[in-house]
Amino acid sequence: MPSRQPLRPLDAFQGSLAQRVYASLREAILSMSFRPGDIVRKPEICEALGVSRSPVSEAVARLAVEHLVRVVPQAGTYVARFSLEEIREGAFLREALELAAVEKVAQGVTDDQLVQLRRNLRLQQALIEDMDIAGFYQTDAAMHELILSFTGFKRVAALADTSWVHVNRARQLILPAPGRVQSTLSEHQAILSAIEARDPQAAREATRLHLGKLIGFLEPLALSRPDLFEPD
């Protein structure tokens, strides 16, 4: 198994033992600590997390349902390679949810909600200045989660996360690209400006532009890094 960052300990997560093992493994896959095509060796995971084989097997089964790992009979379990089809579908679903969400939020945003969004943008700027790409990535995700939560609908954020999972993993490959992080911040600032102006149409267009940029960066990767992608 290639050298990688260790799995986060289970006390960093909540839930049953199997749920915490699943969360630790899922985080490692989404962060690209476990890379597409890597072999998932259950004994090593058991040792790293200090658990028996049963919760690891249960976690791997859940990850297989999400298409984050592939279980090949008589061959082994592998971290799934990227699928452009799944990425495009996930981006389509996420865009539909986010455009509806940002339009609703722009119509009725509160002063307190604007304070939270502005604070998030200031933190994004600080993280860029500190060259903390991982921190920026987390704060970027938090901004989108804030907008989704401001709709007041409890299931929207979970639905968006489910649809976005494959895009979310693949975008780890492009955030370090020269200029992309600063461009992402500018796109976020445009979204916030439209929400501040309480302009639903402008908020939709700024969000559409932002999400569309991501797919434009990801699709060429299938050509430049075919080792990471399933054949289309």
Q: Which of 49-53, 111-115, 170-174, 204-208 has the lowest mean pLDDT?
A: 170-174
Domains and CATH numbers, the chain: 10-79 (1.10.10.10), 84-226 (1.20.120.530)
Q: Is 196 exposed, middle or buried (0-12, 13-18, 19+ CB in 10 A)?
A: middle
The beta strand positions in the chain, using DSSP E, are 69-72, 76-79
pLDDT for residue 175 is more than 80: no
Q: What is the mean pLDDT of residues 110-118?
A: 98
Do 168 and 26 form a contact (C-beta atoms < 8 A)?
A: no
pTM of the model: 0.82
pLDDT in tens, 22-74: 999 999 999 888 999 999 999 999 999 999 999 999 999 999 999 999 999 88
- Give DSSP secondary structure letters for 154-185: TTHHHHHHHHHHHHHHHGGGTTTSTTHHHHHH
Which contiguous run of DSSP H or E holds residue 145?
Answer: helix 133-149
